[in-house]
Structure 1
Amino acid sequence: MGFKALLVCSFVLFFYSYGFSMAQMVPAVYVFGDSLVDVGNNNYLTLSIAKANHRHYGIDFLNHKPTGRFSNGKNAADFIGEKLGLATSPPYLSLISKGNKNENNASFINGVSFASAGAGIFDGTDERYRQSLPLTKQVNYYTNVYEELIREVGASALQKHLSKSIFAVVIGNNDLFGYFESSELRKKNTPQQYVDSMLFSLKLQLQRLYDNGGRKFEIAGVGALGCCPMFRLKNQTECVVETNYWSVQYNKGLQSMLKEWQSENQGIIYSYFDTYVAMNDLIQNPASYGFTDVKAACCGLGELNARAPCLPVSHLCPNRQDHIFWDQFHPTEAASRIFVDKIFDGSSTYTSPINMRQLVAA
């Protein structure tokens, strides 16, 4: 066997020894966030009421069974994995549960999801849902993973691995929902003060990820929250202007914060996705994307199907492809697929300073 052939064989052996496939664009994806990207962590939180573990969730997923995703099928985390040639990063809590103890290291190296429904940037956001993993706790769990992987593969090899991996962060929606639904929070903070505090706290957690190996970040802004069925229900079926205004203001602040954060640290590369613009595009131009209903939830009860969460007794729309919203707050699988298409290959209208494809290549 010649030297070049030997080198190729050694490279292939290294990849497959860590469960990599040659089709992968990156070694791993580490996911942080809320229910938009939760793939089942909350199923392991015994006290949590924020669980998508019953019908009709998962009706369009494999075997038509609920998986902990707040969707009729796949969510954004699944589609990001598909784009990158990876399996969906598994829930962290599933990996440390009984029965998986011997698989932890291999699973950690291939990517992990820490995302949790009800989670926010602030630790107190989960009070509304009784129990979730707020961002601080998610990053705490990641630091545990980081330290374990150092012991397993060594600091140098791990840093090389992490520097090529994607750190996806989808958070902030629940903080804003909480603010506009809490008279107490609104008495204590102006909207601008609250948004500024969100950005300050988020930056601290992003810095912790950077300090523990993260270099390539995919970070999403918040959506057009005032247009969710739950908020439309409170405003004669129209979008709530004030909520949308502060969603935009938060996203503007987030873009400024990310530029500042990048300038303060060497080696950070990031792609920002403007979820608000992408969602608003679907709402304003539904026919272009194959949608017919931009206001109502597919699964729910009462007016706009938004009087109650998606429950086993809920009314279910016959065609999930027609709806942007699956339940009171979350997009359908069809909408999530479109969002990730824009995350990955979107123009500067949706992504800045680069899209995810460019982030991977950087």
Structure 2
Amino acid sequence: MMKSSILLIISFFIFNLGGFLEAQKTPAIYVFGDSLVDVGNNNYLSLSLVKATLPHYGIDFPTKKPTGRFSNGKNAADLIAEKVGLTTSPPYLSLVSKFNNKKNVSFLGGVNFASGGAGIFNGNDVSFRQAISLTKQVDYYTQVHEQLTQQVGASTLQKHLSKSIFGIVIGSNDIFGYYNSMDLQKKNTPQQYADSMVSSLKIQLQRLYNNGARKFEIIGVSTIGCVPALRLKNKTECFLEANLMSIKYNEGLQSMLKELKLENKDLSYSYFDTYGALQDLIQNPISYGFADVKDACCGLGELNAQFLCTPISVVCANRQNHIFWDQFHPTEAASRTIVDKLYNGPSKYTSPINLQQLLAL
């Protein structure tokens, strides 16, 4: 009786382990970007003015507490991890803290380098005092690559990285920076600035490729002129100039990715048209279960967007029917809808393939 019980337990464990391994579609996710995918890096930046550490951030997160995510709950990094059967990649600075304290740390399971306020350009974060620019994020990844090479060897590491996903969500803060700076507008036309963003991003993507990255999930810039903070610039309607800049940048980004693929034959990527997907949500909210496309859920003043989300802010009762959580960021509900399209959406939003197809390569 005892023997049969033990065999049953072992069989159950093997069966469930097999199911877990089948659900895990990639060995790791390495995330680079801004506050849309920051899972807590900025909490470790002592001078940063951009931190999601106060209530009501995290109000719908499983812990019900602020975690450094700029959302009422989970963000896109969490939701993409769910889709591929992984836990969320931890913030890089939390791992470094443990590593420096001689604790057992592995970077093989994925790392999140994203930082609220970060941009493609260095120095874009001046108004926020401190953020980890994309260049610095890639610098950190290069250090991780060196450490992993020493730990597991170059051949084993390359096999691991070639199957991993490298997610890039960046560019919005650069566009915000352009429209907040008369100096930048005098020195660059919108097209020149967008082209410069694209060429700068290409350098960083090539650096990642040179350090093992082969599968890229690239997220285009959304209709950022429609976030509550920018609607205030245009009497509650979308700020057209910012949206036009987003379009210019996204067009250049798609052309650049095709060039990058031609220059690096074994590179694969999925580009996601966040602009089109979010515009669809805004124009057809009811079909997605949303009711409010303009107001921030957490804030004060007109559109609930004249002030930051703080403990004294007004918070909407139903976070499920709002697209925007605060002045700039989507609710978990909106992020989940977007990630669904990113994962297995049609060619209308994903090119040349979607994330599910990228994982299968």
Please, what TM-score do these two structures have when normalized by structure 1?
Answer: 0.93
Q: Distance in 2 between matches of 1:40 and 1:314?
A: 22
The match for 1:345 is: 344
The match for 1:129 is: 128
2:89 aligned with 1:89: yes
SS in 2 for 1:74: coil
Contact 2:98 2:104 in 1 (8 A): no
User: How much has 1:105 moved relative to structure 2?
Assistant: 4.3
From the superposition, tell whether residues 104 and 181 of structure 1 become closer, same or farther in structure 2 (CA, over 3 Å). farther
2:55 aligned with 1:55: yes
From the superposition, tell whether residues 188 and 291 of structure 1 become closer, same or farther in structure 2 (CA, over 3 Å). same
The match for 2:275 is: 276
1:73-84 residue pairs with structure 2 within 5 A? 73-84=73-84
The match for 1:155 is: 154
Contact 2:76 2:336 in 1 (8 A): yes
User: How much has 1:266 moved relative to structure 2?
Assistant: 2.2
User: How much has 1:233 moved relative to structure 2?
Assistant: 0.9
Q: Deviations over 1:176-206 (max 9, x none)?
A: 0110111111011111111111001000000
User: How much has 1:103 moved relative to structure 2?
Assistant: 4.8
Q: Distance in 1 between matches of 2:102 and 2:278?
A: 42
Q: Distance in 1 between matches of 2:287 and 2:176?
A: 29
The match for 1:189 is: 188
The match for 1:32 is: 32
User: How much has 1:249 moved relative to structure 2?
Assistant: 1.1
The match for 1:112 is: 111
User: How much has 1:298 moved relative to structure 2?
Assistant: 0.2
User: How much has 1:100 moved relative to structure 2?
Assistant: 6.8
Q: Distance in 2 between matches of 1:158 and 1:292?
A: 47
Contact 2:95 2:105 in 1 (8 A): no
Q: Distance in 2 between matches of 1:258 and 1:90?
A: 27
The match for 1:331 is: 330
SS in 1 for 2:256: helix
Q: Deviations over 1:147-184 (max 9, x none)?
A: 00000000000000000000000000000011011111
The match for 1:291 is: 290
User: How much has 1:322 moved relative to structure 2?
Assistant: 1.1
User: How much has 1:21 moved relative to structure 2?
Assistant: 4.5
Q: Distance in 1 between matches of 2:75 and 2:104?
A: 24
SS in 2 for 1:123: coil
Q: Deviations over 1:24-72 (max 9, x none)?
A: 1000000000000000000000000100011000000012100000000
**Identity, % of aligned pairs?**
68
Letter in 2 for 1:151: Q
Letter in 2 for 1:97: S
Letter in 2 for 1:293: D
The match for 1:46 is: 46
Contact 1:105 1:148 in 2 (8 A): no
Letter in 1 for 2:57: Y
From the superposition, tell whether residues 98 and 158 of structure 1 become closer, same or farther in structure 2 (CA, over 3 Å). closer
The match for 1:7 is: none
Contact 1:95 1:101 in 2 (8 A): no
Moved more, 145-154 or 239-248: 239-248
2:221 aligned with 1:200: no
Q: Distance in 1 between matches of 2:113 and 2:206?
A: 17
2:318 aligned with 1:319: yes
Q: Distance in 2 between matches of 1:134 and 1:96?
A: 17
Q: Distance in 2 between matches of 1:290 and 1:125?
A: 36
SS in 1 for 2:334: helix
Q: Distance in 2 between matches of 1:243 and 1:266?
A: 34
2:236 aligned with 1:241: no
User: How much has 1:256 moved relative to structure 2?
Assistant: 0.3
1:171-190 residue pairs with structure 2 within 5 A? 171-190=170-189
The match for 1:68 is: 68
Which consecutive segments of 4 or more residues in structure 1 shift more than 3 A? 98-105
User: How much has 1:232 moved relative to structure 2?
Assistant: 0.6
Contact 2:117 2:128 in 1 (8 A): yes
User: How much has 1:129 moved relative to structure 2?
Assistant: 0.8
Contact 2:98 2:105 in 1 (8 A): no
The match for 1:9 is: none
From the superposition, tell whether residues 176 and 104 of structure 1 become closer, same or farther in structure 2 (CA, over 3 Å). farther
From the superposition, tell whether residues 269 and 97 of structure 1 become closer, same or farther in structure 2 (CA, over 3 Å). same
User: How much has 1:259 moved relative to structure 2?
Assistant: 0.2
Q: Deviations over 1:67-94 (max 9, x none)?
A: 0000000000000000000000000000
The match for 1:4 is: none
Contact 1:221 1:275 in 2 (8 A): yes
SS in 2 for 1:60: coil
The match for 1:218 is: 217
From the superposition, tell whether residues 104 and 202 of structure 1 become closer, same or farther in structure 2 (CA, over 3 Å). farther
Give the count of matched residue pairs: 345
Contact 2:91 2:112 in 1 (8 A): yes
